[in-house]
């Protein structure tokens, strides 16, 4: 399930190498990462392994392991080169430099970098895939406000639901 | 408000362009030209690419309204072959079919309007040829089409990856997998292999690459 690229070695697992990491690895980025896309928001450090449901509205960088679900509807998620995510993700923008197993839905842009390894179904307004990236799954372009009928697996289980509507139903 | 502005900014940014790689050979593909109208007949047609993922291929097919699936069966084949233990007797290859097909193309029947097979069949061990052809036929919806390539002169073949750059044009990029062409298919062998398909057309290029366009 967590296999790396099929023709390459496995991805290192920092969490297993350092199971004694503490929560201080989950900290704001401003003081450590400088300018750029990682300059605000939070970061899941390389030595952290988290399971659960993550909901929020700030930029998030995952360099460790995450399993569960992620909703960052107005913010961006970056899975760093060492990051390993097994989750369905919804965010405004998603950048994958590491390993992801799960369906990804980006309201705006979804990028798989050359070091990225993704198995899942992708839905986004714009998709950028760098040469050398590994991807297995489906790609569907959906403009904002558009809801296409999809065939096959994944289409029904991963819909964009307006937050207000979701709150009413809960 | 900020998110709306970001979204608007993103829409007015120039789209990502496929960077032309100097020296990357291109070839015309009559088979691809035949496939595109078949895909356009169906709204939001599903098309599966059995090679590796390329931005230009994704952009092309999503640009004509398709939903594209990618499953790199070349890499899957290489992995299945690599798992074969060298000390195992020849009969151990019976398990190759299971290793390769058990996890490949696990989609419901009739899932796709189009399938891009490229030259995968040339690299398949014989025991996988028939089962994969049958599975591809099952995965196509009625009226759907398949494009496969076959080398006429395998001794001169370099393992390539194929990507679509525009309608009817492919780019051939050298691949890194150590796969070897296993055989040359005769026209009769191809007719027998794909007998369940209702229509077949063959186009032969000057590069000794045969394109086989099949309609279910």
CA dihedral A137, A143, A148, A151 (to 10 degrees): -10
Separation CA B22–CA B171 (nearest Å): 11
pLDDT attached to residue B16: 40
Domains and CATH numbers, chain B: 25-215 (3.40.50.150)
Whole-number mean pLDDT of chain A?
74
- Banded pLDDT at A158 (limits 50, 70, 90): very low
Residue A47 inside a domain? The answer is: yes
Phi then psi dihedrals of residue B32, to 5 deg = -65, -40
What are the chain B neighbours of A125 within 8 Å (beta carbons)?
Answer: 7, 10
pLDDT attached to residue B121: 96
Mutate to test the interface with A, among B9, B70, B139 (most CBs of A within 10 A): B70
CA distance B75 to chain A (A): 7
* Mutual angle of helices B94-101 and B73-82, in 10-degree steps: 140
What are the chain A neighbours of B75 within 8 Å (beta carbons)?
Answer: 5-7, 134
Residue A119 inside a domain? The answer is: yes
Separation CA A107–CA A39 (nearest Å): 21
CA dihedral A122, A128, A129, A131 (to 10 degrees): 170
- The radius of gyration computed from the CA coordinates of chain B, to the nearest angstrom, equals 18
User: Is the model's pLDDT at A148 over the cut of 80?
Assistant: no
Which range among A30-39, A84-93, A153-162, B46-55 shows the weakest confidence by mean pLDDT?
A153-162
pLDDT attached to residue B96: 76
pLDDT attached to residue B58: 95
User: Is the model's pLDDT at A110 over the cut of 80?
Assistant: yes
Phi then psi dihedrals of residue B76, to 5 deg = -65, -40
User: Is the model's pLDDT at A136 over the cut of 60?
Assistant: yes
Residue A8 inside a domain? The answer is: no
Q: Would you say B211 and B203 are in contact if contact means Cβ atoms under 8 Å apart?
A: yes
Residue A151 has, within 13 A of its CA and on its CB side, a CA count of: 20
Query: In A43-159, which residue ranges form alpha helices assigned H by DSSP?
Result: none
Residue A158 inside a domain? The answer is: yes
Work out the angle at residue B139's Cα, subtended by the Cα atoms of residues B134 and B145, and round it to the nearest 5 degrees: 90
Residue B178 sits at the chain A interface (C-beta within 8 Å) = no
pLDDT attached to residue A111: 97
Residue A3 inside a domain? The answer is: no
pLDDT attached to residue B92: 54
Single out the residue of B25, B117, B14 nearest to residue B74, CA to CA: B117
Distances (CA, A) of B39 to A121, B68, B162: 20, 11, 19
- Banded pLDDT at A146 (limits 50, 70, 90): low
pLDDT attached to residue B84: 63
Question: What residues are paired with A27 via a beta bridge?
Answer: A43
> For A25-49, what is each residue's pLDDT tens digit?
344 443 333 334 445 689 999 999 9
Separation CA B43–CA A10 (nearest Å): 40
Residue B108 sits at the chain A interface (C-beta within 8 Å) = yes
Residue A134 inside a domain? The answer is: yes
Q: Would you say A140 and A148 are in contact if contact means Cβ atoms under 8 Å apart?
A: yes
User: Is the model's pLDDT at A165 over the cut of 50?
Assistant: no
Residue B111 sits at the chain A interface (C-beta within 8 Å) = yes
Distances (CA, A) of B82 to A108, B63, B79, B150: 39, 37, 5, 24
CA dihedral A143, B2, B5, A96 (to 10 degrees): -50
Single out the residue of B101, B117, B46 nearest to residue A152, CA to CA: B46
DSSP state of B43: T
Separation CA B191–CA B128 (nearest Å): 17
pLDDT attached to residue A97: 97
Q: Do A131 and B111 touch (CB under 8 A)?
A: no
Check if the interface score ipTM surpasses 0.85.
no
Task: Tell me which residue range forms the domain holding A32.
Answer: 14-169
Separation CA B2–CA A160 (nearest Å): 20
Question: What residues are paired with B172 via a beta bridge?
Answer: B162
Residue A1 inside a domain? The answer is: no
What are the chain B neighbours of A138 within 8 Å (beta carbons)?
Answer: 46, 67-70
Q: How many domains does chain A have?
A: 1
- Banded pLDDT at A164 (limits 50, 70, 90): very low
Spell out the residues 6+ positions from residue B204 whose beta carbon is closer than 8 angstroms to its own: B152, B210, B211
pLDDT attached to residue A33: 38
pLDDT attached to residue A142: 84
pLDDT attached to residue B22: 64
- Banded pLDDT at A124 (limits 50, 70, 90): very high
- Find, in chain B, the residue whose alpha carbon is nearest to that of A129: B55
What are the chain A neighbours of B7 within 8 Å (beta carbons)?
Answer: 92, 107-108, 125, 144
pLDDT attached to residue A4: 42
Q: What is the DSSP string of B17-37?
A: PPPPPTT--EEE-HHHHHHHH
One digit per residue, the tens of pLDDT, for chain B of length 216 reads 555 555 555 444 443 434 445 678 899 999 999 999 999 998 899 999 999 999 999 999 999 999 999 999 999 999 888 876 555 555 555 577 777 888 889 999 999 999 999 999 999 999 899 999 999 999 999 999 999 999 988 777 889 999 999 888 999 999 889 999 999 999 999 999 999 999 999 999 888 899 999 999
Residue B54 sits at the chain A interface (C-beta within 8 Å) = yes
Check residue A132 and give left, alpha or beta (phi > 0: left; psi -120 to 50: alpha): left
Separation CA A156–CA A139 (nearest Å): 14
Separation CA B158–CA B175 (nearest Å): 8
Separation CA B10–CA B6 (nearest Å): 6
């Amino acid at each position: 399930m967590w296999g790396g690229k099929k023709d390459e070695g496995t991805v290192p697992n920092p969490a297993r190498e350092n199971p004694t990491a503490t929560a201080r690895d989950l900290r704001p980025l401003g003081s450590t990462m400088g300018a750029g896309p990682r300059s605000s928001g939070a970061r899941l450090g390389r030595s952290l392994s988290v399971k659960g449901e993550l909901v929020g509205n700030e930029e998030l960088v995952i360099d460790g392991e995450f399993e569960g679900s992620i909703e960052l509807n107005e913010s961006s998620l970056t899975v760093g080169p060492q990051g390993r995510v097994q989750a369905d993700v919804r965010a405004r923008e998603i950048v994958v430099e590491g390993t992801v197993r799960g369906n990804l839905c980006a309201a705006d842009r979804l990028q798989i970098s050359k070091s990225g390894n993704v198995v899942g179904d992708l839905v986004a307004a714009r998709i950028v895939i760098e040469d050398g990236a590994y991807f297995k799954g489906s790609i569907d372009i959906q403009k904002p406000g558009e809801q296409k009928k999809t065939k096959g697996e994944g289409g029904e289980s991963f819909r964009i639901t307006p937050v207000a509507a979701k709150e009413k139903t809960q | 408000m900020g998110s709306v502005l970001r979204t608007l900014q993103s829409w007015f940014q120039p789209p990502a362009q496929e960077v032309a790689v100097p020296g990357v050979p291109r070839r015309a593909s009559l088979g691809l030209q035949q496939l595109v109208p078949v895909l356009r007949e169906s709204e939001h047609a599903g098309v599966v690419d059995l090679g590796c993922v390329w931005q230009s291929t994704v952009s092309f097919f999503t640009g004509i309204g398709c939903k594209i699936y990618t499953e790199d069966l070349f890499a899957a084949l290489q992995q299945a072959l690599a798992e074969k233990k060298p000390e195992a007797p020849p009969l151990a290859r019976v398990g190759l079919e299971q290793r390769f097909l058990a996890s490949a193309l696990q989609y419901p029947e009739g899932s796709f309007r189009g399938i891009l097979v490229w030259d995968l069949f040339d690299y398949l061990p014989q025991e996988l040829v028939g089962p994969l052809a049958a599975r591809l036929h099952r995965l196509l919806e009625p009226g759907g089409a398949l494009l496969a390539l076959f080398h006429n002169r395998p001794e001169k073949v370099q393992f390539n990856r194929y990507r679509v750059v525009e309608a009817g044009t492919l780019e051939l990029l050298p691949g890194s997998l150590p796969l070897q062409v296993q055989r040359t298919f005769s026209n009769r062998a191809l007719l027998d292999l794909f007998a369940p398909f209702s229509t077949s057309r063959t186009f032969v290029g000057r590069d000794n690459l045969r394109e086989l366009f099949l309609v279910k």
